[in-house]
Amino acid sequence: MVKEFNVLIAGVGGQGVILMSELLGKAAVRDGLRVRGSEVLGMAIRGGSVVSMIRLGDEVYGPLIPLGKGDALVAMELAEGLRNIAYLSKSSVVILNTQRIVPATVLIGKSNYPSLEEVVEILNAISNRVVRLDAARIAEEAGSFMTANIVMLGALSAISQLPVKVKTIKESIQDHFSGKLAQVNLKAFDLGYQACQQA
């Protein structure tokens, strides 16, 4: 019996945040877990902030993760990792994609964008475990840059505390994709899993 496990997936529109949460949620249901979830989409679908909360367990009643109660944060983009630090605690695990998607305000000189080192330093001060992955590079290795979200889902699956079985998540991937796409995504998942274990 799982009492409560809270996953926050954060990124920008077009990175596949919602697909990741759907695949994880479907796998959790297959594993017999109670699932609650919530999604927040930015003003612009492509390029705007996207946050998905997935709450798993028998003692979960609402869809929103309370501040400081996130067990895992999957940050598909550096700044989005920082934007969601209020949900973290020392026991949280952070899986950080090192990709930067620089907003227009930075490009025109109206704001600054933090460096990878600054982001990692801040996250390390809050969480005991921060795993950095170059998901785009790993996705290319799998056969398609578009599988970076599945790489990150694989990395999340490598966390021992996650109450969803790896086998079940892979079944969700196979159900969602067909043919060659399924194989490329399964490879991306496996490479993400391995990268997190080796980090």
118-144 pLDDT, tens digit per residue, is 999 999 999 999 999 999 999 999 999
Coil, helix or strand at residue 50: strand
Given this model, what pLDDT does residue 48 score?
Answer: 80
DSSP-assigned letter for residue 66: P
Report yes or no: 109 and 146 within 8 Å, Cβ to Cβ: no
Name the fold adopted by 5-198: Pyruvate-ferredoxin Oxidoreductase; domain 3 (3.40.920)
More confidently predicted of 47 and 183: 183
Beta 129-133 vs 49-56: how paired, if at all?
unpaired
Taking the C-alpha atoms of residue 155 and residue 125, their distance in angstroms, rounded to an integer, is: 21
More confidently predicted of 1 and 113: 113
Position 183, amino acid: Q
When pLDDT is cut at 50, 70 and 90, the band that residue 45 belongs to is low
Q: Which has the minimum average pLDDT: 5-9, 105-109, 114-118? A: 105-109
Q: What share of the chain is helix, strand, coil (3-state, %, to 5)?
A: 45, 20, 35
Q: Per residue, what are the HEC states of 8-47?
A: EEEEECCCCHHHHHHHHHHHHHHCCCCEEEEEEECCCCCC
pTM above 0.85, yes or no: yes
When pLDDT is cut at 50, 70 and 90, the band that residue 159 belongs to is very high
Given this model, what pLDDT does residue 158 score?
Answer: 96
Report yes or no: 76 and 9 within 8 Å, Cβ to Cβ: yes
Given this model, what pLDDT does residue 1 score?
Answer: 73
52-82 pLDDT, tens digit per residue, is 999 999 888 899 999 999 999 999 999 999 9
Given this model, what pLDDT does residue 43 score?
Answer: 52
